Structure 1
């Protein structure tokens, strides 16, 4: 009987928890803070919570998790993750963190920064007395709290009895001071309000004709076009002092003579509504170089906008052509070919295939902007994104929701953690002089995990060399300042993989193609192995 008594007492506690949950539902409490883990009956505790959440309730439930030492912090996250798994990531269940006298090391903040943390509990005895007798946090505690300021919905809750004679007010004023001295929001943060952790299908501009509103969003990024203008300007300066040659191509016959005094021929392929065309004209004026500009666009609706702009803004000096750059081009050989077909993964809007076709119209020694671009990948922890895939409607009834986990998504990630530094994957260079040209690829990259956590997929970035030293990047370490045109790309895996700090994980990636389409396949090998996703383009492809 003595050995069974603790379990009997725990049973009473669980009954009390259930009764309090029933009462909270009865009186309509919008948020219920659940007590921390009950060690002796952890699974039974999860069962009580799940049985309640399984019924109808409109409230949110925040499970309070105390963070102790570095080691205990990692254990706490793993137990929270186990608890969430038992409850099956119910959309009403969230985590609330409680700091203690022992702050977690920075390395363990990653898992929590990827979670939807609803509140941080700060005991009053956690605060120290400064030289003037006011409450302040230790530097490590302060740093931890400040790292969550980028999540404005988090609530900071003071617990315990204030030791300051003025009560709770000095504590609140200190927290307000910390919040007010946070760095100002970046341009991309302001631009992406409402899009955080929102899964979007990547564009397919080659297969689909984009709408005017989509072009309008592209054109809102002056940073991208400033970089393009500078690249065009430098290329024109180099061409101005160089030599020009002509040649006859087996697929297209050009004029066999060229005069050094003739204007340089610049062609913008995939011109859209013409922002790059305008920048070409500005760059030419800066370089004091005469140019003939051709705007080539396959979308007949966008061509109308180009023709209108040619009359109203460009004084009719631009030759507008409605054609697919892979098969048709300008009437003259081109000295400079300019394109903005880059996607969030660099090549995922089929820039290699398009520019390989367009280079047939390039003069010998001609330049293509961008001259190269490289994709980067890294393992990603993103429970909110992964949970969102369960609620996405399947794009194929026969494969049901499997398609959701075999489709890449463009997303502005907020509740996510990159678990190791991104590594370069595939590079494409233009002009491409390979014979024959082959844009299929395979690569494997190995990573050491910087924290414990659960791997939910792969995050992708890209970096592009527009011309010489003009670089455009969405890599976190080298991100072009205030550029908002691209969000990272997310490749999910169907079943998340649990990892510990310093675990080794290898990502394998394929870029495959046939005559009609290009697609990616991917898998992950770590403590567990994932399946190969999107085999033979069964769920997702980029069409020609």
Structure 2
């Protein structure tokens, strides 16, 4: 058994383990405690007289040695600790145990297989006794016995102890070895399929990818990937649909920059250790994309003799360099995402909100208002629209309806846009002409903030009293669909868009508010489209099933809100439009426009994979029409990955599962799906239905809104 223990430069063969999940440079650097190499017949005492190792923890030295089955009958010493406080001193540290290299429970040699099985079980027990964070097992092409041992351990864990139980990391190479018939992904699938039967404990097992990348990995068929500035082979991208917890790289992949300094104060420049360009791209993507708990193991020789400092400082410097490298990658996600809990919620799921049926809590409004990019887009469009009304139509007092005003962020943007228009007009006209043209009153829009939510009204009224009382603003406490002011708006503004565009019933709200608009009314949003694509995501599938079981609910055909960060887009960036909505449209074909169905087709994937479901996104256009009915786009924003508006995190996509029907797809096999948007006869409910048509025909999911629907009636949530 190998343990990743505190650093020491006496042993040239070393392993450095680092957590990439915090921004405060919190990391651990550990040295490998190796086992007896194959072919040797006596215990190698490299550090102490009893065959163990000196471990330095917080300045106190402890002694460890590990129980091992010997090769060729050579006995080994059992575990001993010279200080009973050693285990307590390691509490809270990141102790990672690695399976001994000689262990092979699936060996053709029955004697070796039996000894390996017993040794592996003993090492697992030892890892639990030492409260290790994780135990790394080595997957091989044919390893049914290893999978069975892991499954036995997983089943032995009490559900109440899941948070503190030792995790299992299955070590597999990223690429297919030359001497292997099948790709390592299939090795992992065999293990994952076995343990997924017990969904509550399946999350204990995840992947540790051995990133032994070479130039050859860049040959072959590339697939485009929207989030990336570089292409990857599809068989590499497929790994990111699986739960990857750790990456293992070799020191040979790293190169030293010119700057070397033992002083930690100078670590603000780029890190000392960097990867050659190809591996750098992959590792940066993997660490940033692989989830909030991704870890890094660096194996190889600790070549620190060039540093003219004491040995302990050398080890600390190297470890800190690695930590800085990870820190830089982590910070590239941006502080806003972290403030919004983006990384922590990468695989968190929740039910979609229903603003028409359930009153939204102020905390939701507060988190949405933190995403300023969306409101900057609205302000940009509002400024152009107001300028058009003032300059082209000489409308100095346009009427603006803010429908679903919430706590008032859109009202703020209307006022800011109006001020910018006033400033712009003053630079165009001479002062005398400004006074004549503005009739000395200037450009002052009349703003009506319409809101029905009693939980949002206190903050809205507070803003009115403190900020808007001298402005031309009026608060209307009423449902927008029932408000009858007796006049129409020049501009209508709302933000009822959900992660799928129409899943918060924006079409129904704006269609039932058509009495507030004219054919020439500028409506924001003017158009929004919904897109879907099939994905593979073991993490989301696990979390979704855990979510239902923890609430004693049978898994259902319910769409959910999830970032689905760890996913493999089976069809690359081929997002297909499924629904499209435009406002205002003054015709009576509401059912034909709002409740449609569509068949979608994709070419086959480049590699064998599995479909867990479909993920949905949206794109919004803020537009106005010209007198000849042409459309001018004033601004737009999107969460479709390859069109994603930079630094915007207010929405997460919608996941449509294939309930209990994970479908295997072979490379090149076309994919066909069907999706529909329906409503009940009384108009009180709206829902989605979907199914896979090929390569396998599945039942219609959520047929008749049996599992999930959206209510149009206040106080009657329908899922």
TM-score surpassing 0.5? yes
- Asked if the contact 1:264/1:335 (under 8 Å) is kept, the reply is yes
Residue 186 of structure 1 deviates from its aligned partner by 2.2
- Give aligned pairs, total: 519
Residue 267 of structure 1 deviates from its aligned partner by 0.8
- Asked if the contact 2:545/2:555 (under 8 Å) is kept, the reply is no
- Asked if the contact 1:384/1:415 (under 8 Å) is kept, the reply is yes
Work out the CA distance in 2 between the residues paired with 1:298 and 1:516: 18
522-531 or 5-14: which moved more? Answer: 5-14
Could you say what secondary structure the match of 2:692 adopts?
strand
Residue 229 of structure 1 deviates from its aligned partner by 1.5
Q: 1:10 aligns with which of 96, 105, 113?
A: 113
- In structure 2, relative to structure 1, the CA distance for the partners of 1:478 and 1:128 (3 Å cut) is closer
For residues 364-513 of structure 1, the aligned pairs below 5 Å read: 364-393=519-548, 400-403=553-556, 406-420=557-571, 421=573, 422-438=575-591, 439-448=594-603, 449-467=605-623, 468-494=633-659, 495-513=661-679
> Which residue is 1:96 aligned to?
208
Work out the CA distance in 2 between the residues paired with 1:304 and 1:135: 53
Give ranges in structure 2 of 5+ residues lacking alignment: 1-106, 159-164, 219-231, 260-271, 423-442, 624-632, 713-719
Residue 268 of structure 1 deviates from its aligned partner by 0.8
- Asked if the contact 2:176/2:183 (under 8 Å) is kept, the reply is no
528-537 or 116-125: which moved more? Answer: 116-125
> Which residue is 2:168 aligned to?
61
Residue 37 of structure 1 deviates from its aligned partner by 2.2
- Asked if the contact 1:452/1:499 (under 8 Å) is kept, the reply is yes
- In structure 2, relative to structure 1, the CA distance for the partners of 1:310 and 1:59 (3 Å cut) is closer
Residue 157 of structure 1 deviates from its aligned partner by 2.3
Residue 513 of structure 1 deviates from its aligned partner by 0.9
Work out the CA distance in 2 between the residues paired with 1:214 and 1:73: 51
Work out the CA distance in 2 between the residues paired with 1:363 and 1:381: 45
Residue 528 of structure 1 deviates from its aligned partner by 2.9
- In structure 2, relative to structure 1, the CA distance for the partners of 1:152 and 1:171 (3 Å cut) is farther
Could you say what secondary structure the match of 1:313 adopts?
helix
Work out the CA distance in 2 between the residues paired with 1:152 and 1:311: 42
Give ranges in structure 1 of 5+ residues lacking alignment: 244-259
- Asked if the contact 1:269/1:339 (under 8 Å) is kept, the reply is yes
- In structure 2, relative to structure 1, the CA distance for the partners of 1:437 and 1:37 (3 Å cut) is same
TM-score (ref. length: structure 1): 0.85
- Rg (Cα) greater in structure: 2
Q: 2:360 aligns with which of 210, 224, 235?
A: 210
> Which residue is 1:252 aligned to?
none
> Which residue is 2:707 aligned to?
539
- Asked if the contact 1:70/1:104 (under 8 Å) is kept, the reply is no
For residues 475-494 of structure 1, give each alpha carbon's deviation from its aligned partner in whole angstroms, at most 9, with x where no partner exists.
11222222221122222221
Could you say what secondary structure the match of 1:346 adopts?
coil
Could you say what secondary structure the match of 1:415 adopts?
coil
For residues 380-402 of structure 1, give each alpha carbon's deviation from its aligned partner in whole angstroms, at most 9, with x where no partner exists.
222111101221136997xx423
Residue 472 of structure 1 deviates from its aligned partner by 1.4
Could you say what secondary structure the match of 2:354 adopts?
coil
Residue 99 of structure 1 deviates from its aligned partner by 3.0
- In structure 2, relative to structure 1, the CA distance for the partners of 1:352 and 1:19 (3 Å cut) is same
Work out the CA distance in 2 between the residues paired with 1:480 and 1:136: 30
Work out the CA distance in 1 between the residues paired with 2:621 and 2:108: 70
For residues 168-196 of structure 1, give each alpha carbon's deviation from its aligned partner in whole angstroms, at most 9, with x where no partner exists.
96975774564465472324532324222
Residue 537 of structure 1 deviates from its aligned partner by 0.8
Work out the CA distance in 2 between the residues paired with 1:206 and 1:194: 28
> Which residue is 2:697 aligned to?
529
366-375 or 429-438: which moved more? Answer: 429-438
> Which residue is 1:328 aligned to?
483
Residue 198 of structure 1 deviates from its aligned partner by 0.8
TM-score (ref. length: structure 2): 0.66
For residues 186-265 of structure 1, the aligned pairs below 5 Å read: 186-190=334-338, 191=340, 192-241=342-391, 263-265=397-399
Could you say what secondary structure the match of 1:401 adopts?
coil
**CA root-mean-square deviation:** 3.2
